[in-house]
Amino acid sequence: MSTLTVDGLTVAFGGIKALDEVSFHVEPGEVFAIIGPNGAGKSTIFNAISRIYTARAGSIRFHGREILELPPHEVVRLGIARTFQNIELFEKATVLQNLLVGRHSRVRRSAWREFLFLPGVRRGERAARRKVEEILDLLDMQHLRDALVCDLPYGARKNVELARALCAEPELLLLDEPASGLNPEETADMSFWLKDIKEELGVTIVMVEHDMNLVGRIANRVMALAGGRVLSVGSVEEVQSNERVQTAYLGAAA
Protein backbone atom coordinates (compact mmCIF):
# COMPACT_ATOMS: atom_id res chain seq x y z
CA MET A 1 0.00 0.00 0.00
CA SER A 2 1.16 3.54 -0.67
CA THR A 3 2.39 5.52 2.29
CA LEU A 4 0.57 8.67 1.29
CA THR A 5 -2.34 8.88 -1.11
CA VAL A 6 -3.62 12.29 -2.14
CA ASP A 7 -6.79 12.20 -4.15
CA GLY A 8 -8.58 15.10 -5.84
CA LEU A 9 -7.22 17.62 -3.33
CA THR A 10 -8.66 21.11 -3.84
CA VAL A 11 -7.70 24.10 -1.69
CA ALA A 12 -9.17 27.50 -2.41
CA PHE A 13 -8.77 30.99 -0.95
CA GLY A 14 -11.93 32.85 -1.80
CA GLY A 15 -12.35 32.31 -5.50
CA ILE A 16 -8.74 31.44 -6.25
CA LYS A 17 -7.93 27.77 -6.41
CA ALA A 18 -4.45 27.21 -5.02
CA LEU A 19 -4.78 23.48 -5.66
CA ASP A 20 -7.16 22.05 -8.19
CA GLU A 21 -7.92 18.34 -8.04
CA VAL A 22 -4.37 17.30 -7.25
CA SER A 23 -3.80 13.56 -6.99
CA PHE A 24 -0.59 11.63 -6.35
CA HIS A 25 0.75 8.87 -4.18
CA VAL A 26 4.01 8.29 -2.38
CA GLU A 27 5.47 4.80 -2.02
CA PRO A 28 7.23 3.56 1.12
CA GLY A 29 10.92 4.37 1.24
CA GLU A 30 11.08 6.68 -1.75
CA VAL A 31 12.13 10.31 -2.08
CA PHE A 32 9.36 12.15 -3.85
CA ALA A 33 10.12 15.69 -5.02
CA ILE A 34 7.58 18.35 -5.89
CA ILE A 35 8.77 21.06 -8.26
CA GLY A 36 7.10 23.97 -9.95
CA PRO A 37 7.29 27.71 -10.43
CA ASN A 38 6.41 30.16 -7.64
CA GLY A 39 2.77 30.08 -6.66
CA ALA A 40 2.25 26.64 -8.13
CA GLY A 41 0.78 25.38 -4.86
CA LYS A 42 3.74 23.31 -3.64
CA SER A 43 3.73 24.52 -0.06
CA THR A 44 -0.05 24.49 -0.08
CA ILE A 45 0.07 20.71 -0.37
CA PHE A 46 2.18 20.53 2.78
CA ASN A 47 -0.04 22.99 4.58
CA ALA A 48 -3.08 20.93 3.67
CA ILE A 49 -1.40 17.76 4.96
CA SER A 50 -0.48 19.41 8.25
CA ARG A 51 -4.02 20.82 8.42
CA ILE A 52 -3.03 24.48 8.47
CA TYR A 53 -5.27 25.02 5.46
CA THR A 54 -8.65 23.44 5.19
CA ALA A 55 -9.18 21.50 2.00
CA ARG A 56 -12.33 22.25 0.05
CA ALA A 57 -12.52 18.81 -1.49
CA GLY A 58 -10.57 15.62 -1.86
CA SER A 59 -8.84 13.29 0.53
CA ILE A 60 -5.37 12.71 1.96
CA ARG A 61 -4.79 9.23 3.30
CA PHE A 62 -1.78 8.02 5.25
CA HIS A 63 -1.69 4.22 5.24
CA GLY A 64 -5.39 4.32 4.48
CA ARG A 65 -6.14 6.69 7.40
CA GLU A 66 -7.93 9.92 6.40
CA ILE A 67 -5.90 12.92 7.58
CA LEU A 68 -8.45 15.58 6.77
CA GLU A 69 -10.58 14.41 9.69
CA LEU A 70 -7.82 15.02 12.24
CA PRO A 71 -7.06 18.18 14.20
CA PRO A 72 -3.67 19.68 13.24
CA HIS A 73 -1.80 18.51 16.31
CA GLU A 74 -2.66 14.85 15.75
CA VAL A 75 -1.14 14.56 12.31
CA VAL A 76 2.37 14.13 13.66
CA ARG A 77 1.24 11.30 15.90
CA LEU A 78 0.53 9.21 12.80
CA GLY A 79 4.16 9.63 11.81
CA ILE A 80 4.24 12.71 9.58
CA ALA A 81 6.71 15.47 10.46
CA ARG A 82 7.59 18.55 8.46
CA THR A 83 9.83 21.56 8.08
CA PHE A 84 8.83 25.03 6.93
CA GLN A 85 9.85 27.18 4.02
CA ASN A 86 10.75 30.18 6.18
CA ILE A 87 11.99 28.28 9.22
CA GLU A 88 9.61 28.20 12.13
CA LEU A 89 11.83 27.50 15.10
CA PHE A 90 11.31 28.43 18.72
CA GLU A 91 13.65 31.39 18.58
CA LYS A 92 14.20 32.15 22.23
CA ALA A 93 14.90 28.57 23.23
CA THR A 94 18.03 26.48 22.96
CA VAL A 95 18.61 23.92 20.23
CA LEU A 96 18.17 21.18 22.78
CA GLN A 97 14.83 22.60 23.89
CA ASN A 98 13.70 22.82 20.28
CA LEU A 99 14.55 19.21 19.67
CA LEU A 100 12.87 18.13 22.89
CA VAL A 101 9.69 19.82 21.71
CA GLY A 102 10.10 17.63 18.66
CA ARG A 103 9.67 14.65 20.99
CA HIS A 104 6.38 16.07 22.17
CA SER A 105 4.15 13.64 20.29
CA ARG A 106 6.11 10.70 21.74
CA VAL A 107 6.10 11.56 25.44
CA ARG A 108 3.44 11.32 28.11
CA ARG A 109 2.69 14.44 30.04
CA SER A 110 1.04 15.35 33.28
CA ALA A 111 1.32 18.95 34.39
CA TRP A 112 1.03 18.34 38.12
CA ARG A 113 3.63 15.55 38.12
CA GLU A 114 5.96 17.86 36.26
CA PHE A 115 5.22 20.66 38.72
CA LEU A 116 6.49 18.43 41.53
CA PHE A 117 9.09 16.84 39.26
CA LEU A 118 8.32 13.30 40.43
CA PRO A 119 10.93 10.65 39.56
CA GLY A 120 8.96 9.51 36.51
CA VAL A 121 9.38 12.93 34.95
CA ARG A 122 13.14 12.74 35.31
CA ARG A 123 13.16 9.30 33.70
CA GLY A 124 11.12 10.67 30.82
CA GLU A 125 13.54 13.58 30.39
CA ARG A 126 16.53 11.24 30.27
CA ALA A 127 14.86 9.00 27.73
CA ALA A 128 13.95 11.98 25.56
CA ARG A 129 17.56 13.21 25.69
CA ARG A 130 18.91 9.84 24.62
CA LYS A 131 16.76 9.97 21.49
CA VAL A 132 17.64 13.60 20.81
CA GLU A 133 21.30 12.74 21.15
CA GLU A 134 21.07 10.17 18.35
CA ILE A 135 19.66 12.80 16.04
CA LEU A 136 22.30 15.34 17.10
CA ASP A 137 24.99 12.79 16.25
CA LEU A 138 23.40 11.86 12.95
CA LEU A 139 23.30 15.48 11.79
CA ASP A 140 26.65 16.28 13.34
CA MET A 141 25.50 19.19 15.47
CA GLN A 142 26.57 18.34 19.00
CA HIS A 143 28.39 21.65 19.29
CA LEU A 144 25.13 23.57 18.86
CA ARG A 145 23.34 21.69 21.63
CA ASP A 146 23.05 24.52 24.15
CA ALA A 147 23.08 27.48 21.75
CA LEU A 148 20.07 29.77 21.51
CA VAL A 149 18.36 29.47 18.15
CA CYS A 150 18.23 33.23 17.70
CA ASP A 151 22.05 33.29 17.80
CA LEU A 152 22.46 30.74 14.99
CA PRO A 153 23.22 31.45 11.33
CA TYR A 154 20.70 30.55 8.65
CA GLY A 155 22.23 27.27 7.51
CA ALA A 156 22.43 25.95 11.07
CA ARG A 157 18.80 26.83 11.65
CA LYS A 158 17.78 24.84 8.61
CA ASN A 159 19.53 21.83 10.09
CA VAL A 160 17.97 22.36 13.50
CA GLU A 161 14.56 22.35 11.89
CA LEU A 162 15.34 19.11 10.09
CA ALA A 163 16.62 17.61 13.34
CA ARG A 164 13.52 18.74 15.19
CA ALA A 165 11.28 17.03 12.67
CA LEU A 166 13.34 13.84 12.96
CA CYS A 167 12.94 13.83 16.73
CA ALA A 168 9.28 13.05 16.21
CA GLU A 169 10.39 9.69 14.75
CA PRO A 170 8.43 10.23 11.57
CA GLU A 171 7.71 7.64 8.96
CA LEU A 172 7.08 10.36 6.40
CA LEU A 173 9.07 13.58 6.33
CA LEU A 174 7.79 16.66 4.51
CA LEU A 175 10.62 19.04 3.67
CA ASP A 176 9.72 22.49 2.36
CA GLU A 177 12.73 23.70 0.37
CA PRO A 178 15.45 22.06 2.48
CA ALA A 179 18.26 23.60 0.42
CA SER A 180 16.99 27.13 -0.14
CA GLY A 181 19.39 29.71 1.21
CA LEU A 182 22.17 27.17 1.72
CA ASN A 183 25.56 27.55 0.07
CA PRO A 184 26.82 24.76 -2.24
CA GLU A 185 28.77 23.07 0.52
CA GLU A 186 25.82 23.09 2.89
CA THR A 187 23.60 21.81 0.09
CA ALA A 188 25.97 18.92 -0.48
CA ASP A 189 25.84 18.10 3.25
CA MET A 190 22.09 18.27 3.12
CA SER A 191 21.92 15.78 0.27
CA PHE A 192 24.11 13.32 2.20
CA TRP A 193 21.95 13.67 5.27
CA LEU A 194 18.77 13.16 3.33
CA LYS A 195 20.27 9.97 1.91
CA ASP A 196 21.21 8.86 5.41
CA ILE A 197 17.76 9.63 6.70
CA LYS A 198 16.22 7.65 3.91
CA GLU A 199 18.55 4.69 4.12
CA GLU A 200 19.47 4.44 7.80
CA LEU A 201 16.22 5.55 9.38
CA GLY A 202 14.01 4.22 6.59
CA VAL A 203 12.05 7.47 6.39
CA THR A 204 9.98 8.27 3.34
CA ILE A 205 10.62 11.82 2.14
CA VAL A 206 8.44 14.26 0.24
CA MET A 207 10.23 17.47 -0.55
CA VAL A 208 9.52 20.73 -2.29
CA GLU A 209 12.73 21.93 -3.89
CA HIS A 210 13.92 24.31 -6.59
CA ASP A 211 17.49 23.06 -6.74
CA MET A 212 17.24 20.52 -9.60
CA ASN A 213 20.76 19.38 -8.83
CA LEU A 214 19.69 18.19 -5.41
CA VAL A 215 16.46 16.76 -6.78
CA GLY A 216 18.36 14.88 -9.46
CA ARG A 217 20.78 13.46 -6.93
CA ILE A 218 18.31 12.04 -4.44
CA ALA A 219 14.75 11.97 -5.76
CA ASN A 220 13.26 8.73 -7.02
CA ARG A 221 10.26 10.40 -8.56
CA VAL A 222 9.33 13.97 -9.31
CA MET A 223 5.98 15.71 -9.62
CA ALA A 224 5.74 19.00 -11.50
CA LEU A 225 3.04 21.40 -10.49
CA ALA A 226 1.85 24.68 -12.03
CA GLY A 227 -1.16 26.82 -11.28
CA GLY A 228 -2.42 24.29 -8.78
CA ARG A 229 -2.53 21.41 -11.26
CA VAL A 230 -0.32 18.39 -11.73
CA LEU A 231 1.63 18.63 -14.99
CA SER A 232 3.62 15.48 -14.89
CA VAL A 233 4.84 12.73 -12.57
CA GLY A 234 7.78 10.45 -13.22
CA SER A 235 11.55 10.19 -13.06
CA VAL A 236 13.63 13.36 -13.14
CA GLU A 237 14.45 12.97 -16.84
CA GLU A 238 10.87 12.24 -17.80
CA VAL A 239 9.56 15.29 -16.02
CA GLN A 240 12.33 17.56 -17.29
CA SER A 241 11.69 16.56 -20.88
CA ASN A 242 7.94 16.92 -20.53
CA GLU A 243 6.64 19.58 -22.88
CA ARG A 244 4.00 20.97 -20.53
CA VAL A 245 6.58 21.37 -17.79
CA GLN A 246 8.89 23.26 -20.12
CA THR A 247 6.01 25.50 -21.14
CA ALA A 248 5.16 26.24 -17.52
CA TYR A 249 8.73 27.27 -16.72
CA LEU A 250 9.76 28.97 -19.95
CA GLY A 251 6.49 30.29 -21.35
CA ALA A 252 4.46 29.27 -24.39
CA ALA A 253 6.79 30.72 -27.01
CA ALA A 254 9.51 28.19 -26.18
Residues making contact with other proteins (CB under 8 A) = 13, 43, 47, 50-52, 71-77, 81-82, 84-86, 88-93, 96-97, 100-105, 107, 109, 111, 114-117, 121-122, 124-126, 128-130, 146, 150-151, 164, 168
Say if CB 194 and CB 32 are below 8 A apart. no
Say if CB 234 and CB 222 are below 8 A apart. yes
SS3 state of residue 81: strand
Q: Read off φ and ψ for residue 94, nearest 5 degrees.
A: -80, 165
Q: Which residues contact 48 (CB under 8 A, 6 or more apart)?
A: 9, 11, 19, 55, 60
Residue by residue, DSSP assigns 131-179 as: HHHHHHHHTT-GGGTTSBGGGS-HHHHHHHHHHHHHHT--SEEEEESTT
The candidate with the shortest Cα–Cα distance to 216, out of 241, 201, 196, 236, is 236
How many Cα atoms are found within 13 Å in the side-chain-facing hemisphere of 151? 8
Q: Which is nearer to other proteins, 110 or 241 (CB)?
A: 110
**Cβ of residue 39: shortest distance to other proteins, in angstroms?**
12
**Cβ of residue 11: shortest distance to other proteins, in angstroms?**
12
Q: Which is nearer to other proteins, 67 or 222 (CB)?
A: 67
Q: Which is nearer to other proteins, 88 or 243 (CB)?
A: 88
**Cβ of residue 235: shortest distance to other proteins, in angstroms?**
30
For residue 88, CA distances in Å to 82, 84, 102, 160 come to 11, 6, 12, 10
Task: Tell me which DSSP letter residue 94 carries.
Answer: B
CA distance 170 to 203: 7
**Cβ of residue 127: shortest distance to other proteins, in angstroms?**
9
Amino acid of residue 107: V
Q: Which residues contact 183 (CB under 8 A, 6 or more apart)?
A: 155
